[in-house]
Amino acid sequence: RLEVSGQKQAGWRTDPSKSGASGCFGDIATHAYNLARYMTGLLPMQISCHLKVFEAGRALDDYGTAVIRFQNGALGTVTASQISHGRENDLFIEVDGTKGSLEWHQEEPNKMWVRTNGQPHRLFTRDPNAPFLGEMAKASCRVPSGHPEAFLEAFANIYNAAYDDIIRKLKGEKFAGKNTLYPNVYDGVDGMNFITRCVSSSTENGNWVNLNNPACRS
């Protein structure tokens, strides 16, 4: 166990007095949940979750899986693990629709697979000059295609979007409010509510629980 080897990050993440009621799901699954909310725009309504401790001696979950019911009838699954050997930081999302699907991995953030019914699979790569990109996507690109652009640049995009809203507020102009291009307090509350409901569902053997969070509804 990393937490008993002196690894500081693992130490506080597995300590309930510091990280709260959930370990793996609170640490990792919240990112997947936020990613799904941001990319799809769908509103989660109910959740069924199972959390488990596999490593002997741990106080908090090191594996979990959840099923989410969305407002439009869609279903989503979230799985997070701290016991999957060989995985580094494989945060990814796959969205399946009536006409096709898309898949994106944060370990290869400049690529996205799009699979459309009856057509060859297409691999889209980051290109700020591509005619199919919207203005928001173009503004998030800083270097020409073929140059890796990823984790640190994503933080720059967050800071830049927050700064733009601060300027708008100072000028008395309207800004996005809840639907910002950066994580805001509503997203934070939504994430904490997600963790709380997951723990509650898991405690009740995976029973469906409502994700009642009106403040974060958009």
pLDDT in tens, 148-193: 888 899 999 999 999 999 999 999 998 777 778 899 988 999 999 9
- Looking up residue 180, the CATH number of its domain turns out to be 3.30.360.10
Average pLDDT, the chain: 92
Residue 218 CA: distances (Å) to CA of 43, 162, 176: 8, 19, 11
pLDDT confidence band for 217 (50 / 70 / 90):
low
Which range marks the domain in which residue 26 is found? 2-216
Q: How many domains does the chain have?
A: 1
Residue 215 has pLDDT above 70, yes or no: no
Residue type, 5: S
Q: What would the two tokens of residue 15 be? A: 């300590």
pLDDT in tens, 20-64: 999 999 999 999 999 999 999 999 999 999 999 999 989 999 999
pLDDT in tens, 120-133: 999 999 999 999 88
Residue 214 has pLDDT above 70, yes or no: no
Q: Which of 214, 203, 211 is nearest to 49 (CA)?
A: 203
pLDDT computed for residue 178 by the predictor: 78
% of the chain exceeding 70 in pLDDT = 97
pLDDT computed for residue 136 by the predictor: 86
Nearest-5° Cα angle at 92, 55 to 29: 45
Give 190 or 212, the one with higher predicted confidence. 190
